[in-house]
Structure 1
Amino acid sequence: MPEFSFTDWLLFALLCVPVLATLLPLVNHNHWSFRIFDFPRPQIAAVSLLCVVLNYVLQQHEHWLFVAFEILNLGCFAYQLKEISAYTRLSKPEVLRYRGEDDGRTVSLITANVLTGNRRSGLLLGQIGRYRPDVVLTLESDDWWERQLAVLEREQGYGYTVKIPLDNLYGMHLYSRLPLRNAEVRHWVAEDIPSIAAEMQLR
């Protein structure tokens, strides 16, 4: 067995990163340390490919451990591309566009992750004014965002609301033109992570 140099161990540690980042989200656990890797899939794919190239360039010997992790990184790269493809034109839409007449049983909505520190509320209000959805749901909205969105109630007919302003990136605000029934705030994941459950009366 060849003796590994510091560069070898550094390379091996780098090879492990995309593998762990790919495997952790497969664990059925709601903790952020597992779920956070559900999101940066393009970055994980890029690092996987970079690791394969670096392993090819820097490895001084063909030890089975490096070969195995090179193959694992190629597998991670392929898996991440598969997951990413679901959000591109390469995949067939799961929800088809409704082309029939409005029979009073359809609902239009806008969901917006506003990013708590973002202060460009005019961009969101402009989209709401343009599309005039039945329902608006904001995520990561705090007290500042609640004040900016108050115009929806005053001037745009969103008379039914559920407001949860929080500064921990889990705030939510629900605005509806349609009547809401049995609306309640629930905490399925953790006490500081709210969800909204409600019934909506269609036209």
Structure 2
Amino acid sequence: MKSTLIILGFIFTLFSFLPFIKSPLWWIRVLDFPRLHVAIILSAILITYVAMYGLGDTSEKTMLAIWLVAIINEIRYIFWFTPVARVEALRSEQKHPANAFTLMIANVRMVNKEHQKFKELVLKENPDMLIMNEPDEAWHESVRKEFDARFPYSIKKPLDNTYGMLFWSKFKLHDSEIRFLVEDDIPSFYTVVEMPSGKKFDLFTVHPQPPRLMQNTETREAELLIVAKQAKSTKYPSVVAGDLNDVAWSSTTKLFKKISRMLDPRVGRGFYNTYNALIPLFRYPLDHVFYDPEFRLLSLRRLNKFGSDHFPMAISLNYEPLTEDEQKPPKADHEDKEEAEELIEEGLEKGEELNHEKQENGGQKH
């Protein structure tokens, strides 16, 4: 039993420290996700060891101290997404918000057949805008009639590779584009949204590839950081939303926020885990909304599941440019900007390789 605890302690301590390595290797980056799980499991191992065998000699005390440091290392990442931490995105104090809107995000899961259940949820929530990730043509056809009637403006790119995207809006859209920033079969959307008051903002929707078996993250990092730079340089205040396939506390997401100078409404409020809706013990915040300080938060909610492996999210914001200076987004320094450029360059090179492979294999083209 003692040997088993020592081996497990070593493994989970390694899980805690491996993500310090700035590498896109999937088996390293995937360890950004289970920070809470590693902290809990390693705490249980440490407590069990001390209860059964005491503190032991100097070598054992050193081992236990390292385990404790590994636990603290995990906690320092997730702490900021608990109600104990200071909030980053402030709530609106306006009693009657004049430039408010609600955005709903839902990764519908392409193989999910609960089309009617999803439609009922959307019609019940009645958002001003809706982002659907992973829809294929079957999903598009199943919701098109009702949603076209409810939302007069849209951008559509259904695909059968799990990276399709649909965007619906009650508000007028301008200069809409379907962009393929890194990979030829993974779209992102850009549009200028005009609110009923005439005020405008830029909206970017994204859904890059996740880290998974034999699939590294160069293209994910590149796509997110390209969007971060674009959002920072546009004429209007920006909102970035979608299934980022990354957790809120990862180094990539932190760098994204610094480059874009955007706020995360989860900070100081909670995890709002959206994936995996089908496995309660393993859930992470993968679906995000980031926005410029010109906006104030009205509400942030995780909605009921509808058959997908993701929970949908709904966020309500109000455009309040006069209070912009009261919110303090993170800021990139010279080193952050250099790192972002390097990651973008690496990701674009990897994207070219993948695009070439897909073309040779007769893969999907847009």
CA contact (8 A) 2:154 2:166 kept: no
User: 1:74 deviation in Å?
Assistant: 1.9
Amino acid paired to 1:112: A
Which position in structure 2 is the counterpart of 1:80?
74
Which position in structure 2 is the counterpart of 1:94?
88
Which position in structure 1 is the counterpart of 2:108?
114
CA contact (8 A) 1:185 1:197 kept: yes
User: 1:45 deviation in Å?
Assistant: 1.6
Say whether 1:70 aligns with 2:64.
yes
Which position in structure 2 is the counterpart of 1:125?
119
Cα separation, partners in 2 of 1:143 and 1:70, compared to 1, 3 Å:
farther
User: 1:159 deviation in Å?
Assistant: 2.3
For residue 7 of structure 2, the aligned residue among 9, 13, 26 is 13
Which position in structure 2 is the counterpart of 1:3?
none
Cα separation, partners in 2 of 1:71 and 1:163, compared to 1, 3 Å:
farther
Which position in structure 1 is the counterpart of 2:167?
174
For residue 191 of structure 2, the aligned residue among 174, 189, 198 is 198
Cα separation, 1, equivalents of 2:88 and 2:45: 34
Say whether 1:25 aligns with 2:19.
yes
Cα separation, partners in 2 of 1:87 and 1:185, compared to 1, 3 Å:
same
CA contact (8 A) 2:105 2:132 kept: yes
Question: How big is each residue's C-alpha offset from its partner over 1:84-132, in whole Å with a ceiling of 9 and x where there is no partner?
Answer: 34333323432233343443x4432011233444433444433422332
Aligned residues: 193
Greater Cα radius of gyration, structure 1 or 2: 1
Cα separation, 2, equivalents of 1:135 and 1:114: 15
Residue aligned with 1:161, SS = strand
User: 1:172 deviation in Å?
Assistant: 3.1
Amino acid paired to 1:35: R
Q: Output the TM-score relative to the length of structure 2.
A: 0.44
Cα separation, 2, equivalents of 1:32 and 1:172: 24
Taking every aligned residue pair, what percent have the same amino acid on both sides? 19
Say whether 1:44 aligns with 2:38.
yes
Cα separation, 2, equivalents of 1:185 and 1:120: 29
Question: How big is each residue's C-alpha offset from its partner over 1:142-198, in whole Å with a ceiling of 9 and x where there is no partner?
Answer: 444333332453321242123243434x4433222231424122334x555543333
By relative contact order (CA 8 Å, sep 6+), the higher-ranking structure is 2
Which position in structure 1 is the counterpart of 2:143?
149
For residue 183 of structure 1, the aligned residue among 177, 181, 190 is 177
Which position in structure 1 is the counterpart of 2:251?
none
Gaps of 5+ in 1: 1-5
Question: How big is each residue's C-alpha offset from its partner over 1:26-59, in whole Å with a ceiling of 9 and x where there is no partner?
Answer: 4434443333223323321221112213443369
Cα separation, 2, equivalents of 1:69 and 1:187: 46
User: 1:20 deviation in Å?
Assistant: 2.8
Gaps of 5+ in 2: 197-366
Pairwise CA RMSD of aligned residues? 3.4
